[in-house]
Structure 1
Amino acid sequence: MSIMRQGLFSPRKLVRKFTPAMRPDANLPNAQRIGPALQTPVKTGETLGRIGSLEVRMARNFKEVKKAQRLRYDVFYEEMSAIADAHTLATRRDADPFDAYCDHLLVVDHDLQKRNKLGRLKPEIVGTYRILRQEIADQHAGFYTAAEYDIQSLIDANPGKRFMELGRSCVLKPYRNKKTVELLWHGIWSYVLRHNIDVMLGCASIEGTNPDAIAGQLAFLHHNARAPEEWRVRAVEDRYVEMNRMPAEELNSKEALRALPPLVKGYLRLGAFIGDGAVIDHQFGTTDVLIIMPVSELNTRYVNYYGADASRYSS
């Protein structure tokens, strides 16, 4: 007899800590929901926070973007199972056309410095996130996520809301700790406030391309974190992978939750929803799920932690 059938374990209780107990009022304007928004947009190279030797800021120039691309290559291709084409192998950079017009959030370590070609010491980049605002996406090729999910239907249904895509998240292995992740999220929160963002979205990855091997993780997300109807987005039809791979009563929720990648669990803690259907990304060797985070739905505990004005780690 399963633990759930004995009544000793409830998946609802298990995910309670990942589910916002209190949400801001979704009917209020953005600034009223989360406190006074900072009025000045984030600038290139601007420092957004600091903890000790670690600083979170925007990339200053294309040289720094290239360094972020090298970090992504080291994590995605060297450490994980992404498959590089000839150009990627030659450059040892994870790059695509979106990089040219995205904003790049960086965590740099001032205690880890290398000399550049001019002999100047420069802090090394140890973490990065790629950010794309809707108005910028509209001027170019749209959102990267649109290749996997029908996000345009959600955007069209919310014409008064400002969307922002998060992607290409990675952190150098020795820096995968609370401090680095908190700085990245502090930077994202500052960016959200500065640009009056209403909805964050993007794909998060589970390692592996066999959905049956990660059936528990997919089923857990389907049963416990699927977006409500008004926020639900479906994977594009020719790439759709069913996430409801086992009944809720047969699912070992505790085990499935433990197996989820830290990034996905972090999104759930913030109050994220999961889209309908997964997508196999053979190039990166992953199974992707869609993350949808309306600012109005964010867990107020985390909003208060970072500060309604993003002041917690401001320098």
Structure 2
Amino acid sequence: MIALKKGRYSTREAQGPGDIAAAQALRARCFEVSSSRDSDPYDAKCTHILVHSEADSRLVCCFRMLPLTGAEIAQSYSAQYYELDRLAAFDGKMVEMGRFCIDPNLSDPDILRVAWGAMTAYVDANGVELLFGCSSFAGTDTADYLDAFAMLKARHLAPKRWLPRVKAPHVFKYAARLRRKPDMKKAMLRMPPLLRTYLSMGAWVSDHVVVDDQMNTLHVFTGVEIGAIPPARKRLLRAVAG
């Protein structure tokens, strides 16, 4: 059972339908869906992590985790959008992190830090060797993120043995199409905070972006091999998790 308290925030696993409904309501606000809740069949299969404000018990962040093995990779949410057959050969426990969101009215970086502390505790407790998911960019206009995509191409593409292949009907193949040298300052300014955190852990990404018109986002498949996280970064994460 994951539960920790750090400063102004505490995290815990969802404990029933009421907690999951609260997470779905926050997701609906963050993802701007038309209904009052954002839900799908994966919710029933996942462990949901909630981050609350200690001051007023308000839910400020949530995400969900789905444990898998390589043989089960086709059962992941991400497999709807990416051909992940190469990852079936991954020899180790995996967890897919999804539906990560923070209350859009808040901008406290400690929320993300505490959320990652909870994720680290889960990874360590369950012997996870690969963390993966879809990292989203707001909107569907790829022109807004060309420097960010150029940076991903230059520094963070997945190794060929794990590289996801195209499956979704609407994609932008940035690795093949972009010939620009990235402006690193612009790239980091346009990089989503969650993906920036992944990259600081040594993450790799798909060579194409999925254009998800339904969710009004662009996203790249993102993987973090736990054994490859830089030692200094591991120490920071475990300090929060502890």
Q: Normalising to structure 2: TM-score of the pair?
A: 0.91
Number of the residue aligned with 1:132: 66
- Give the secondary structure class of the aligned counterpart of 1:169: strand
Unaligned 5+ runs, structure 2: none
Contact 1:50 1:313 in 2 (8 A): no
Q: Which of 3, 28, 34 is the aligned partner of 1:73?
A: 28
Could you tell me whether the CA contact under 8 Å between 2:86 and 2:162 is conserved in 1? no
Q: Pick from 161, 168, 172: which aligns with 1:241?
A: 172
CA RMSD of aligned residues (A): 2.1
**Hey, what's the Cα distance between the residues in 1 that align with 2:168 and 2:20?**
33
1:257 and 2:188 correspond: yes
In the TM superposition, what whole-angstrom CA distance separates every residue of 1:248-294 from its partner, at most 9, and x where no partner exists?
44x32321222211121111112111112110010111111111101
The 10-residue stretch of structure 1 (179-188 or 53-62) with the greater mean CA deviation from structure 2 = 53-62
Rg larger in 1 or in 2?
A: 1
Contact persistence 2:113–2:240 (CA under 8 A): no
Q: 1:223 aligns with which of 147, 154, 160?
A: 154
Over 3 Å counting, the alpha-carbon distance change for 1:213 and 1:110 in structure 2 is: closer
Equivalent residue, structure 2, for 1:283: 214
What pairs up with 1:3-82 in 2 under 5 angstroms?
Answer: 43=1, 46-47=2-3, 49-77=4-32
Q: Which has the higher strand share?
A: 2
Distance 2:209 2:123 in 1: 26
Question: Counterparts of 1:87-106 in structure 2 under 5 Å?
Answer: 89=35, 92-106=36-50
Larger RCO (CA under 8 A, 6+ residues apart): 1
- The equivalent residue for 1:214 is 145
Q: Distance in 1 between matches of 2:106 and 2:233?
A: 21
TM-superposed CA distance for 1:138, in Å, is 4.2
The answer on 1:271 being equivalent to 2:202 is yes
Q: Distance in 1 between matches of 2:183 and 2:89?
A: 36
Return the offset for 1:235: 3.0
Task: Give the match's secondary structure for 1:198.
Answer: strand
Choose the corresponding residue for 2:78, options 126, 145, 152. Answer: 145
Number of corresponding residues? 240
CA contact 1:235–1:275 (8 Å) conserved in 2:
no
- 2:51 corresponds, among 107, 110, 133, to 107
Query: Residues 137-174 of structure 1, C-alpha deviation per residue, up to 9 Å, x if partnerless?
Result: 949x81000011112321x222x211110110111134
Distance 1:108 1:194 in 2: 22
CA drift of 1:221 comes to 1.1
- AA of the residue aligned to 2:63: Y
CA contact (8 A) 1:227 1:274 kept: yes
Find the aligned partners of 2:105 and 2:215 in 1 and give their Cα distance. 22
| SS of equivalent residue, structure 2 residue 55 | strand
2:228 maps to 297
In structure 2, C-alpha distance between the alignment counterparts of 1:175 and 1:107, rounded to whole Å: 13
Mapped to 1, the partners of 2:85 and 2:64 lie a distance apart of 20
The alpha carbon displacement at 1:313 in A equals 4.7
Deviation (angstroms), 1:56: 1.1
